[in-house]
Amino acid sequence: MMIKGTVVVYSIPACPHCRTAKATLTQRGLQYVDDASQWEQLVTLLEQTELNPSDAGAPRIPKPEEAVTTSAPAAVLPVECEKDELSRLAIDLHDRSNLIMDHRVGLFTKIRDSFSGEAFVNWMIKEKESDEANALDMGQQLMDKHFIQNVSGGADSTKFEGSAKAFYRMTEDDNQGALNSGETAGCPPLPAGELAENLRKLMLTMYAENISPDGKTTGVTTCGWRVSCSEVDIFGLNREEKLAFFINVYNALVVHGNIATGHPTNVWQRWKFFNNTAYVLGGSPFTLQDIENGVLRANKKGVGALSPQFSKVDPRRRLSLERAEPRIHFALNCGAKSCPPIKTFSAQNIESELDLASASYLETDDGIRLEPAKGVVHLSTLLKWYRSDFGEDDKEVLAWVLRHLTGEKAEQLKQMLDSGNFKINYIPYDWTNNAK
C-alpha cells in the first residue's frame, strides 16, 4: 500500500545531522526545499502533484516563519524588570544616598566606591524612617539578594554589620571588568532557569541570522549583548539546569568577549582572554576558565594550571559539579575554527543534547580521523588537553570515543581497539578566529 503525503521538517542552523539527512535525500533523488524564501516554489511543486495541500481534509502546512518566533534579532537581552521594595531601596542607595565614596583604611589601603554599615543604618533611620533593627535586616536582605557585597573581609562576609569598620559595595560597582557589570542594579534576582531559557532563545535568534552552514563562523561584528545575570539566583540550580545555564553563558560570553576586546591571536592573548573575560553571575565574577574548569569540570585544574580553579574558601566552589562532565568539551565554543559548532542547550533535554553534540563533533574530521591500515587514530587535541575527563590511558579515552561514534568510524575504531594495534596522533588546533 502506498501512502501519499507531505513531510515538513524544521531544522536548526549548522546541524551536522541535518546536513547528512539532506545529502541522503539528494543521493536518492528526492526533491526538497531548503530555504524559507522558496516557500512559493514548494507550494507550486505540491500543486503539480496529487498532494495539493488545498485538497479537502489535508492539513495546512505551516510556513517556516510561523514555526519560530522571529522577533528583532538585536542580540540584546532587555534589562527590564518590575521593581520591588528591595530593588527600589537599592536604586535609592546607589543614586540618591550620597553614601558611596572611597574610604581610606590605614596608610596604604583604600576601599573604593563603598559605604560603611554604620552609615547605611544612619541613612535608613533618617531618610527611610526606619529603626536600627529594620535597617540591619534590610542591609542583610540586600546582601542575600546580591545587591551589595562585603568588601572589608572579616570572619563572616555573608553577615551584614552596622559597624563603622564594615564596608560594602554595590554589586554593579564591583567587577568593573565584567562585560555585564552595572546592567541590572535595580532588578530583583531572576531565577537562573528563567534567565537560561531567555538566553537560549536570544542566542538561537542571533545564530539563525548570522551563523554559517557549518556552525563554525558567525557574522556578528557589532554587539548589543547585555546579559543581565549579575543578580541571578544561581545557587539553587540542579545538575541539568547548571549544565544548560553555564554552557549557554560560556558560549554567549565568548561571542561577547570577541566583539568587546577582539579575538586573541597568540598564546599570551588567549591566556588573558580566557582568564579575564567575565560576567557577573549571582553577584560574583565568572571568567571563561571559572565556568569551564571551576563549574563544569568539577573544579579541576585548567590547561597549564598548577591548582584547581576555585580555592577551598571560594564561595563559588559550591557550584562545581560533583564530577567532571566530559561531553561539555563538544558543547563549548571557544571562538576558534577547531572548536565544536555553536549550539544552545536546554535543561529539559541536556542529556540527549550533550550526546548529540559529542556524536556530531566526532563525526567530523576535526574530531577523529582513522587510518586502520597504519593503525593511526588522529584525534582532536581537546581529548589530549582534558584527557583526565575521558579516561586514565589511551585505551580508555578511545573506548569513551567509541561509545559516541556510529557507522563506519565506529566499526573501524572497534577493530583497532580489539586488535590493540593503534597509536594516537593529535590534530593541531586551529586557533584562527571563527568570525566571518
The CA R_g of the chain, rounded to the nearest whole Å, is 26
Claim to verify: residue 253 and residue 351 sit in the same structural domain:
yes
Statement: residue 79 has pLDDT above 50? no
Task: Answer for the pair 208, 64: CB distance below 8 angstroms, yes or no.
Answer: no
432 is a domain residue: no
Task: Answer for the pair 360, 341: CB distance below 8 angstroms, yes or no.
Answer: yes
pLDDT tens for each residue of 112-140? 899 999 999 999 999 999 999 999 999 99
Claim to verify: residue 283 and residue 207 sit in the same structural domain:
yes
- CATH, residue 160: 1.10.10.10
Can you spell out the DSSP letters for 313-332? Answer: T-GGGGGS-SS--GGGGGT-
Claim to verify: residue 55 and residue 127 sit in the same structural domain:
no
317 is a domain residue: yes
Strands 368-371 and 284-287 come out as unpaired
184 is a domain residue: no
Claim to verify: residue 298 and residue 247 sit in the same structural domain:
yes
Statement: residue 387 has pLDDT above 80? yes
Residue where a domain stops, chosen among 329, 356, 383: 356
pLDDT tens for each residue of 327-357? 999 999 887 777 777 778 888 999 999 999 9
| pLDDT recorded at residue 143 | 87
300 is a domain residue: yes
Least reliable range by pLDDT among 191-195, 206-210, 282-286, 336-340:
206-210
436 is a domain residue: no
Claim to verify: residue 211 and residue 327 sit in the same structural domain:
yes
SS3 285: strand
Q: Phi/psi of residue 270, each to 5°? A: -65, -40
Q: How many CB atoms lie within 10 A of CB 78?
A: 11
Query: Which set of grid coordinates corresponds to residue 34?
Result: 531548503
Claim to verify: residue 129 and residue 276 sit in the same structural domain:
no
9 burial (CB, 10 Å; 0-12 / 13-18 / 19+) is: exposed
What's the structural domain count of the chain?
Answer: 4
Claim to verify: residue 92 and residue 157 sit in the same structural domain:
yes
Claim to verify: residue 116 and residue 196 sit in the same structural domain:
no
pTM of the model: 0.72
Claim to verify: residue 217 and residue 341 sit in the same structural domain:
yes
Q: How many CB atoms lie within 10 A of CB 427?
A: 18
Claim to verify: residue 30 and residue 134 sit in the same structural domain:
no
Claim to verify: residue 33 and residue 90 sit in the same structural domain:
no
179 is a domain residue: no
User: Could you tell me which residues are beta bridge partners of residue 164?
Assistant: none
Query: Which set of grid coordinates corresponds to residue 251?
Result: 558560549
93 burial (CB, 10 Å; 0-12 / 13-18 / 19+) is: buried
| Structural domain harbouring 303 | 192-356
> Measured between alpha carbons, how far is 290 from 294 in angstroms, rounded to an integer?
5
Claim to verify: residue 62 and residue 113 sit in the same structural domain:
no
